[in-house]
Structure 1
């Protein structure tokens, strides 16, 4: 009997050991489970409200392009999940792109044509001063609005007619879809037609380049494209500035629009909110580029 009981005791001890091992494993699993579950829940938690993800595409005005590109860079730096892609093509192209669903945002220096307005939401973001620029060989510093109109319409063809040297005037134009062209046509030419003579460029950047490399050349760009490679002209005795625009002395500027097809959502809305914020639009960088807050003047 003693041997039998000994055998039973050994078996009992072994069985209890196995059960204890199993019990310990299960307890270990149970004790770590809440922690693992919490970690999994935390990693799968929804993004916070200020986290922005998604791609934003904006196309159109090359005049507005530097401002949108700057805003895009800063926006992406603040939101690693956002991707802002900015292209040119002209204001007319931007409006067509957003209306056709090609772009999220259509940038324009002028209001969209009536055929598009019903489907688009207008976001006015800034004022862009435009400047008449000439090649550095031109000995004229100031034009009246009438003189500028006569030059771009082809009535005046030599710089000596406006106080300069006896030198032919070479016109640098923008293409028909350009908001810059439409703006100059409206403000300087009072709706009149441009001369057919001259060279046509597809962007503000190439206009500035063509004027800088030309002789007796004149064109028009917005402020960010004015460098020391060209000369900016005064208009009716005034250079562009925040003060001259606010006072009405300087009239050549555009109200910059960013159109969306319907109300913007997600990353597009967040980006538009940022570019129109005081934090951005009144920053030193934006002012240095020449853009001004949209509320500087009353429409």
Structure 2
């Protein structure tokens, strides 16, 4: 009797071990499958356009490709106009823009799908030699329309003002002029294609003034407060600071495959809660005001 009992126990133990081993193998298989599933998405994405948005998309793309190695993402500048034109022509996958597609001549916005991924604040910046830190909105307008030509007229140094503008087609320029010039004609001045180039010119040119996305403003130039309101994220979020725009990533029709997955990642917690802020942008989820394609601002409901 004891012998049978011992044999039964041994057989039972062996059976249990087989079950446990089977479960372990199953879990290993599942883990391997899950790991491979995260890397099954493949494709090529080309995102072109806004230089204000470019640094964020480049960094997000690099992070995304670490867990999606079969996806090849190329990010280039060129300006919002270029991004919108090329995505409309289907020569690129994504058109990055600081402006709504409806605001750009020659663009059929009905064919494009808007993916808002961040908000960017923009501010006037001057060469530190000008000795100016604050202006009124009217003074900024008069400077960029050529009516004020010397910094001493606004409390600064006796020094000629050198205006540096962005090139036509720039979303940053369109946003700035809509908020500041309000239809007035800009003074003729040198024009540059990118935020990065503008930053370097203002830094090195005595008397220079231009405007930059917050993400490009460094301690090498002087940002300007307007009507005693400082250019900060908090003031953009509340609507106190008037010069800002959405950062759009447009697709021609509904995004699919790798493109859809990348755009979902751009709106994920990893990007919106950390990367966006770390790189000088504002999360779309933090905005207390919203803006439509006509420039009308209202509270977020």
Normalising by structure 1, report the TM-score: 0.81
What is the alpha-carbon distance in structure 1 between the residues aligned to residue 39 and residue 67 of structure 2? 10
- Residue 14 (structure 1) aligns with: none
Residue number among 269, 275, 290 corresponding to 1:278 in the alignment = 269
Structure 1 residue runs of 4 or more that deviate by more than 3 Å after TM superposition:
none
Give the Å deviation of 1:298: 2.9
Q: Counterparts of 2:276 and 2:48 in 1: how far apart (Å)?
A: 19
Q: Is the 8 A contact 2:123 2:211 kept in 1?
A: yes
How far the C-alpha of 1:51 sits from its partner, in A, is 3.2
Determine if the alignment matches structure 1 residue 78 to structure 2 residue 74. Answer: no
Q: Which residue of 2 aligns with 1:201?
A: 192
Q: Secondary structure at the match of 1:260?
A: strand
1:249 matches 2:240: yes
Mapped pair 1:91 → 2:83 = no
1:240-286 deviation line (CA, Å, top 9, x unaligned): 22321222221111111110000011111111110111221121x42
CA distance in 2, matches of 1:294, 1:75: 20
Tell me, what secondary structure is at the counterpart of 1:264? Answer: coil
Residue by residue over 1:26-84, the C-alpha shift from the partner in whole angstroms, topping out at 9 and shown as x without a partner, is xxxxxxxxxxxxxxxxx9xxx63663211111000001111111111111112111111
- The answer to whether residue 191 in structure 2 is matched with residue 214 in structure 1 is no
- How far residue 166 of structure 1 moved from its aligned partner, in angstroms, is 1.1
Show the counterpart of 1:31: none
Is the partner of 2:40 in helix, strand or coil?
coil
2:89 to 79, 100, 112: 100
Q: How does the TM-score come out when normalised to structure 2?
A: 0.80
Offset of 1:203 from its aligned partner? 0.6
Match of 1:131 in 2: 123
- For the Cα contact (< 8 Å) 1:223–1:289, is it kept in 2? no
The equivalent residue for 1:262 is 253
Gaps of 5+ in 2: 1-31, 292-301
Query: What is aligned with 2:136?
Result: 144
Whether 2:217 is the aligned partner of 1:226: answer yes
1:153 equivalenced with 2:145 (yes/no): yes
Q: Is the 2:131–2:156 Cα contact (8 Å) retained in structure 1?
A: yes
**Structure 1 unaligned spans of 5+:** 1-42
Q: Is the 8 A contact 1:282 1:292 kept in 2?
A: no
Question: SS in structure 1 opposite 2:115?
Answer: strand
Q: Per-residue deviation at 1:238? A: 1.8
RMSD of aligned alpha carbons: 2.0
> Counterpart of 2:157?
165
Q: Distance in 1 between matches of 2:109 and 2:190?
A: 32
